[in-house]
Structure 1
Amino acid sequence: MSLKILVGCKRVIDYAVKIRIRPDNKGVVTQGVKHSLNPFDEIAVEEAVRMKEKKMAKEILAVSIGPQASQDTLRTALAMGCDKALHVNVDEKSAETLLPVQVSKILAKIAEQEKVEMVILGKQAIDDDCNATAQMTAAHLNWPQATNASKIESKDDKTVLVTREIDGGLEEIEYKLPIVISADLRLNEPRYATLPNIMKAKKKPIDKKTPSDLGVDITPKMEILSVQEPAKREAGTKVADVDELLTKLKEAGRI
């Protein structure tokens, strides 16, 4: 098996950063804030690299859709072992309102143009938690989809066996290629890029396109009215016994 794989690489605010709301309540503070490769996408990249090491894949294309700084995310993917990188440039303001349906159309167009046989995406991004891009990409391509994958194995040149995490446990399904897969948390543990690979990645070229080059309209389909922090939890109350607990619950109208 010698697949050509596309992996999605979204640039998100680093998981360790404390999120702050902007003064205008229209979004979160991004200026001067550390960003990194979305953790679930990092798992997707790692799986693609492992498949190449097992001779299941011949080439890995990393794709990021976002502002100019998204190229740093692609450099990370290249340092981890991806062969090529493509940046679809979207300005900061448009990136804030970019929806999974628009992202999926872009990824589907690239998959068609690059003639890839497998698309691996993180199951969700940690900024919007949509968990929809992989499913929509499969729909646009009319390919089978294997979501929440925790294991991927090669059966033959045309078939893969994917273990999916579902509510009832694990589910094993054979899929015919081409396919779209979304990576779950337990699929693998991503490697750390070595310093030599990081230095090599800095010199690798990154192809550039725009949504219009791909015939995709990214006109905002939604308007952000307000972004607010979750309400702070009120302090708890200690009770001496069950009778007092029942009394307080009745007074609060909860029973």
Structure 2
Amino acid sequence: MKVLVPVKRVIDANVKPRVKADGSGVELANVKMAMNPFCEIAVEEAIRMKEAGKVEEIVAVSIGPEKAQETLRTALAMGADRAILVKTDETVEPLDVAKILKAVAEEEKPELVILGKQAIDDDANQTGQMLAALLGWSQGTFASKVELADGKATVTREVDGGLQVVELKLPAIVTTDLRLNQPRYASLPNIMKAKKKPLDLKEPGDYGVELKTRLKVLKTEEPAGRKAGVKVGSVAELVDKLKNEAGVL
């Protein structure tokens, strides 16, 4: 079985984003970048499937600038077998990402596509669902557990009411939630080996996809600062403030 794992390069989760002076977006210059945390979980899950003997090959793919090679090499160092970079310096929206991944899937013919449920930069949470619709494949979103057996994938999903278990006929799309696993750290020898592995370089045009801008950012601003708290002398005063000042009771 072959698994395709899309990964995205984003601002490191431990770095506080800064808004550009003109409010046109988030400052990306001289900012530490890393693999999207949900994508790390997807890579880890694919590796665990391979270690369990359920998967033979893991192909990582990323869509973005040339520097996204670093993200792909992280995936290779973790345990992916091959990597594909669809190079573009333009902002790629979820629908175009899904169209490119559809073309990659049709070329690579994986039986399973595992990707993060969302990216921490735009929080769109759309790519997996759009990809499933374009391919006409079954999908299991927000997965906290995935089991492969008899040509099917049993996915435990995290939903508002608790957990839901669905059975998917392969090929299928699975999007990962936080509690699916704990990603491993790549070892230094594997990091060194990953630097020497070749990457397949492509462009959106190679897959017949013309990038389109459908959304326009009007303004970006930091959230308002948190107001200072106050001390109250009694429960009655607390209730009074919650009722008459905060208006929550």
Match of 2:86 among 85, 88, 103: 88
1:143–1:234 CA distance, 2 compared to 1 (3 A): same
1:47 is matched with 45
Question: What is the CA–CA distance in structure 1 between the aligned matches of 2:16 and 2:38, rounded to whole Å?
Answer: 19
1:111 is matched with 105
Structure 1 position 209 matched with structure 2 position 202:
yes
Question: What is the CA–CA distance in structure 2 between the aligned matches of 1:32 and 1:224, rounded to whole Å?
Answer: 22
Q: Is the 2:96–2:212 Cα contact (8 Å) retained in structure 1?
A: no
Instruction: Report how far residue 24 of structure 1 moved.
Output: 1.4
1:133-144 residue pairs with structure 2 within 5 A?
Answer: 133-144=127-138
Instruction: Report how far residue 140 of structure 1 moved.
Output: 0.6
CA displacement 1:38-90 (0-9 Å, x = unmatched): 11100100111111111211111100111111000000000011111000111
Q: Tell me the number of residue pairs that the alignment of Structure 1 and Structure 2 aligns.
A: 248
How much is the aligned-residue C-alpha RMSD, in angstroms?
A: 1.7
Which segments of 5 or more consecutive residues in structure 1 lack a partner in the other structure?
A: none
Instruction: Report how far residue 30 of structure 1 moved.
Output: 0.9
2:95 is matched with 101
Q: What TM-score results when the alignment is normalised by the length of structure 1?
A: 0.92
Q: What TM-score results when the alignment is normalised by the length of structure 2?
A: 0.94
Structure 1 position 219 matched with structure 2 position 217:
no
1:131 is matched with 125
Q: What amino acid is the match of 1:29? A: E
CA displacement 1:154-178 (0-9 Å, x = unmatched): 221x212111112222222211100
Question: What is the CA–CA distance in structure 2 between the aligned matches of 1:122 and 1:247, rounded to whole Å?
Answer: 45
Q: What amino acid is the match of 1:43? A: I
Instruction: Report how far residue 229 of structure 1 moved.
Output: 0.4
Instruction: Report how far residue 129 of structure 1 moved.
Output: 1.1
Instruction: Report how far residue 243 of structure 1 moved.
Output: 5.5
